[in-house]
A and B are shown apart, each in its own frame.
Chain A
Amino acid sequence: MPVFKAYLQIIRKNAPLLLMYLGIVAGLAIMMTIFNAQSPQTGFSGSKVRTAVFNDDTAAGTLLSAGLVDYLGQTAELVTLADDPQQIRDALFFGEVSYVLRIPAGFSGQLSQSASDTVVNIERQAAPDSTSALYMDMLVNKYLHTVGLFRAGMPEAADEEIARLVRENLALSIPVELSVQNSYRGSYENIIYYFNYLAYALLSILILGISTCMITFNSLDLKRRNLCSPVSLRSQNLQILAGNLAFSIGSWLVMILVSLVLYRGAMLTWTGFWLALNAFAFMLVGLCLSFLIGYALKSRNAQAAVANVLTLGTSFIAGVFVPQEFLGRSVLAIARLTPTYWFVRANVAIGSLDSFDWMSLGDIRLACVIQLAFAGVFLAIATLLVYRKRQAAA
Chain B
Amino acid sequence: MISHLLQYRLKCFLKDRQMIFWTLAFPLLLATLFNLAFANLSEIGTFTAIPVAVVIDEDNPQNRALKSALETVSTQTGGGGLFSLFQTDDTTARQLLSANQVDGVIFADSSLHLEVQKSGLNQTVIKSFLDEYIQTSQALSQMTILSPEIRLETLLPVVQDRRDYIAAVPVGKDQLDPAVINFYSLMAMTALYGGFWGLRIVNENQANLSNQGARVSVAPVHKLLRLVVDIVAALTIQYAIILIVLAYIQLVLGYHFGYQLGWVVLAALVSCFMGVAYGACVGAVIPAGEGVKTGILILTTMVMSFLSGMMYHGIKYIVTTAVPVLAFLNPANLVTDAFLALYYDGASSRYFMNLAILFVFGVFFSLLAFAVLRRQRYASL
* A1 proximity list for chain B (CB < 8 A): none
A142 within 8 A of partner (CB): yes
- With contact pairs A41-B119, A153-B150, A182-B118 given, residues A89 and B168 touching in the complex (Cβ less than 8 Å): no
Interface string of A138-158 (1 = CB under 8 A from B): 111110111011101110000
Q: Is the CB of A178 within 8 A of B120?
A: no
Our count of residue pairs bridging A and B at CB distance below 8 angstroms stands at 229
Query: Could you tell me how many residues of chain A have their Cβ less than 8 Å away from some Cβ of chain B?
Result: 76
Give the contact stretch, choosing among B132-140, B208-216, B257-265. Answer: B132-140
* B129 proximity list for chain A (CB < 8 A): 138
Interface string of A109-135 (1 = CB under 8 A from B): 000000100010111111111111111
* A152 proximity list for chain B (CB < 8 A): 154-155, 158
Q: Please, how many angstroms separate the alpha-carbon atoms of A135 and B127 in the complex?
A: 11
Nearest residue, chain B, Cβ from A92: B171
Q: Is the CB of B46 within 8 A of A130?
A: yes
Q: Is the CB of A327 within 8 A of B115?
A: no
Interface string of B29-54 (1 = CB under 8 A from A): 11001101111110011110000000
Chain A nearest Cβ from B233, distance in angstroms: 22
Question: Which of B29, B117, B166, B171 is in CB contact (< 8 Å) with A121?
Answer: B166
* B26 proximity list for chain A (CB < 8 A): 305, 308
Q: Is the CB of B176 within 8 A of A149?
A: no
B116 within 8 A of partner (CB): yes
Q: Is the CB of A326 within 8 A of B172?
A: no
Q: Is the CB of B142 within 8 A of A89?
A: no
Chain A nearest Cβ from B333, distance in angstroms: 13
Interface string of B9-24 (1 = CB under 8 A from A): 0000000001001100
* B119 proximity list for chain A (CB < 8 A): 41, 44-47, 178
Which residues, 145 to 171 on B, are CB-close (under 8 Å) to A? 146-147, 150, 154-155, 158-159, 161-171
Interface string of A161-202 (1 = CB under 8 A from B): 000010001101111111101100100000000000000000
Q: Please, how many angstroms separate the alpha-carbon atoms of A98 and B314 in the complex?
A: 13
- With contact pairs A93-B178, A175-B114 given, residues A149 and B136 touching in the complex (Cβ less than 8 Å): yes
Q: Is the CB of A89 within 8 A of B171?
A: yes
Q: Is the CB of A115 within 8 A of B158?
A: yes
Q: Is the CB of A135 within 8 A of B124?
A: yes
Interface residues of B (CB under 8 A from A): 18, 21-22, 25-26, 29-30, 33-34, 36-41, 44-47, 79, 82, 97-98, 112-125, 127-132, 134-136, 138-140, 142-143, 146-147, 150, 154-155, 158-159, 161-172, 175-176, 178, 181, 311, 313-314, 316-317, 320-321, 344
Q: 6 smallest A-B Cβ distances: which pairs?
A: A94-B317, A121-B167, A153-B143, A316-B33, A46-B124, A130-B45
- Show 14 A/B contacts (Cβ-Cβ < 8 Å), sorted by A: A46-B124, A47-B119, A98-B45, A121-B165, A123-B167, A127-B45, A131-B125, A141-B163, A141-B165, A142-B135, A174-B112, A175-B113, A302-B18, A312-B30
Extra A-B contacts (7), CB below 8 Å, given A131-B125, A134-B125, A173-B127: A115-B163, A126-B168, A126-B171, A152-B154, A175-B113, A178-B119, A312-B33
